[in-house]
Structure 1
Amino acid sequence: MSSRRGRKLKWRLQELAANLQITTILVPVQQAEIDQLHAFRVLAHSEVQAYLEEITEQVLTVTEDRALNGQVLTHAGHHLLVSSSLIPLGNKAQAVNAKFPFYDPMAAQRSVIADSSQLTAAIKRHRRVIKENGGVKAGNVRMLLSPLGYRDSCFAINLMDKLDEFGRERGNVAHGAGAAVTNIPTGSTELKRITDILPGLIRLDQYVPRLLLPVA
Structure 2
Amino acid sequence: MRVRELKRMLLPSKFDPTGSYKDPLRVTTRALSFRVLTHAEVETYFEDRVLEVAATALDAWETNKFVSVVTFHLIGFGGRSTDRPPETLHAIEQNKLKEWPSKTSIDDRFSKCVSEFHKRIKFENHGVKERNIMEMFVPIGFYMGRCDPIFLQTMNNFGEARGAVAHTSGKGHVQKAVDPKDEYTTLQKIIASLETIDAEFDRLLRASKAPK
Same topology, TM > 0.5: yes
Deviation at 1:183, TM superposition (A): 6.0
Q: Does 1:14 align with 2:4?
A: yes
Q: Does 1:198 align with 2:188?
A: no
Q: Is the 8 A contact 1:173 1:179 kept in 2?
A: no
CA distance in 1, matches of 2:12, 2:46: 24
Give, as a single letter, the amino acid of the residue that structure 1 aligns with 2:110.
L
Q: Which residue of 1 aligns with 2:89?
A: none
Deviation at 1:184, TM superposition (A): 3.2
Note the 1:1-216 alignment, pairs <5 A: 9=1, 12-22=2-12, 25-26=15-16, 27=19, 28=21, 29-84=23-78, 87=79, 99=83, 115-130=106-121, 131-181=123-173, 184-212=177-205, 213=207
Q: TM-score if structure 1 supplies the norm length?
A: 0.75
Q: Relative to structure 2, which stretch is displaced further, 135-144 or 149-158?
A: 149-158
Gaps of 5+ in 1: 1-8, 89-96, 101-113
CA distance in 1, matches of 2:133, 2:82: 26
- Deviation track 1:120-171 (CA, whole Å, cap 9, x = no partner) reads 1110110111121111111111101111112330214411111111111111
Give, as a single letter, the amino acid of the residue that structure 2 aligns with 1:163.
M
Q: TM-score if structure 2 supplies the norm length?
A: 0.76
Deviation at 1:42, TM superposition (A): 0.6
Structure 2 CA distance for partners of 1:179 and 1:193, relative to 1, 3 Å: farther
Deviation at 1:98, TM superposition (A): 5.1
Give, as a single letter, the amino acid of the residue that structure 2 aligns with 1:41.
R
Is the radius of gyration larger for structure 1 or structure 2?
A: 2
CA distance in 2, matches of 1:143, 1:183: 34
Q: Is the 8 A contact 2:141 2:204 kept in 1?
A: yes
Matched residue SS, 1:47: helix
How many residues were matched structurally? Answer: 183
Matched residue SS, 2:77: helix
Q: CA RMSD in A?
A: 2.5
Give, as a single letter, the amino acid of the residue that structure 1 aligns with 2:202.
P
CA distance in 2, matches of 1:192, 1:36: 15
